[in-house]
Structures are given as structure tokens and as C-alpha cells.
């Protein structure tokens, strides 16, 4: 079985649907204790039914990017940097944004404030990080709709004025009133 295709993914989901819920829960919990990108993503999935806890976990995930990225330069595959950004974006998009635009916007701003570290740690996988920041800008635009225009404009202009790595240029398409 391969999950590299849409059909393979559909087949895998069909197989998993037939599994008992407690077996799936135990497996997901076992992934969470493994640590690393997979463990962190599984942990976010487990707590996703609690928005404040998810917001706090995403904030910790973003704040821990700096030390993780410093280690990534020595040990991790640069692709993991993009993966970590993507799972943080998944949590923001699926859990935080639907119920708290201000918190989602704030988390996304924090993510953009760490773009330099992410870019440096990504190595040859710069494109993975660039895609994540493009997605972050799209999510920021969605969150911004519910916020005061002046506040959004000030934050976006501040971020764009400090674009040392080129990741923030995707914010140029955001409406700024």
C-alpha cells in the first residue's frame, strides 16, 4: 500500500475508519510521546478541542522555534522546519481562526517575526518555508477581516519594513485600508 497518491490516501482512510476508536486513540497518543515534529503535531491534534489550550500550545511552539531552529542547523533536515511551520498553521487555521481572529492574527504575527530563523535553518528546503509563509499571509488576511483596519495596517507595515529575508513580501497583497 502506498499513500503517495490521492487514491492511496483514500484507501488508507477507508482502512482507518474500520479501526476501533480506542485503538486509534492509543496510536495517536503513542505518536505524541515520541517528540519531534510528529509528536508535536499529534499533541496539537489531541488538544484541539480546547481552544485556549491550543492557542497556548501554538504560542509555545512558535516561541520554541528559535532554539529548535538553532539545533536544526546542526542536526535536523531543513524540510522539518517547513513541516513544523505547517502543523502550527494547521492548528491556527482549524482551531484558533474560526473562533478567535485576534488570537490567530497575533500568532501569525509572531510566526512572521521568526521568519529569519526559519529561513536560515531551512537550508536547501527554503521553498518549504516560503510556502508556509505564503499560507501564513493568506491566513493573516482572513483573520484581519474581523480586526480594526488601522491596527492591521500598522502591524503589516511594521512587519514589511523589517523584511530581511524576503518572506514578508507576501504581506504586500494584504488590504491595509
d(CA 15, CA 13): 5
SS3 at position 87: helix
Sign of CA dihedral 114, 121, 84, 173: positive
How far are the Cα atoms of 23, 41, 125, 140 from residue 94, in angstroms, in the given order?
Answer: 24, 13, 25, 13
Q: What is the pLDDT of residue 15?
A: 92
pTM: 0.81
Give the tens place of pLDDT for each residue, 46-103.
999 999 999 999 998 888 776 555 554 555 567 788 888 999 999 999 999 999 999 9
Give the tens place of pLDDT for each residue, 116-136.
888 887 777 788 899 999 999
| 66 phi, psi to nearest 5 deg | -55, -55
Q: Are the C-beta atoms of 43 and 32 separated by less than 8 Å? A: yes
Q: What is the pLDDT of residue 157?
A: 94
Cβ neighbours of residue 16 under 8 Å, at least 6 residues apart? Answer: 24
Cβ neighbours of residue 1 under 8 Å, at least 6 residues apart? Answer: 8, 11, 12
Nearest in space to 113 (alpha carbons), one of 66, 176, 60, 172: 66
Amino acid at each position: 500500500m502506498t499513500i503517495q497518491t490521492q487514491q492511496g490516501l483514500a484507501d488508507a482512510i477507508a482502512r482507518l475508519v474500520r479501526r476501533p476508536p480506542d485503538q486509534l486513540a492509543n496510536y495517536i497518543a503513542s505518536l505524541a510521546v515520541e517528540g519531534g515534529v510528529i509528536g508535536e503535531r499529534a499533541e496539537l491534534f489531541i488538544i484541539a478541542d480546547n481552544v485556549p489550550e491550543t492557542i497556548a500550545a501554538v504560542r509555545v511552539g512558535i516561541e520554541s522555534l528559535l532554539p529548535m531552529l538553532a539545533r536544526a542547523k546542526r542536526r535536523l533536515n531543513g524540510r522539518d522546519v517547513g513541516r513544523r511551520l505547517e502543523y502550527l498553521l494547521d492548528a491556527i487555521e482549524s482551531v484558533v481562526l474560526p473562533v478567535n481572529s485576534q488570537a490567530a492574527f497575533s500568532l501569525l504575527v509572531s510566526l512572521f517575526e521568526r521568519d529569519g530563523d526559519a529561513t536560515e535553518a531551512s537550508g536547501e528546503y527554503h521553498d518549504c518555508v516560503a510556502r508556509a509563509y505564503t499560507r501564513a499571509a493568506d491566513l493573516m488576511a482572513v483573520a484581519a477581516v474581523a480586526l480594526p483596519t488601522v491596527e492591521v495596517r500598522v502591524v503589516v507595515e511594521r512587519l514589511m519594513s523589517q523584511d530581511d529575508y524576503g518572506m514578508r513580501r507576501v504581506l504586500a497583497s494584504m488590504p491595509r485600508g
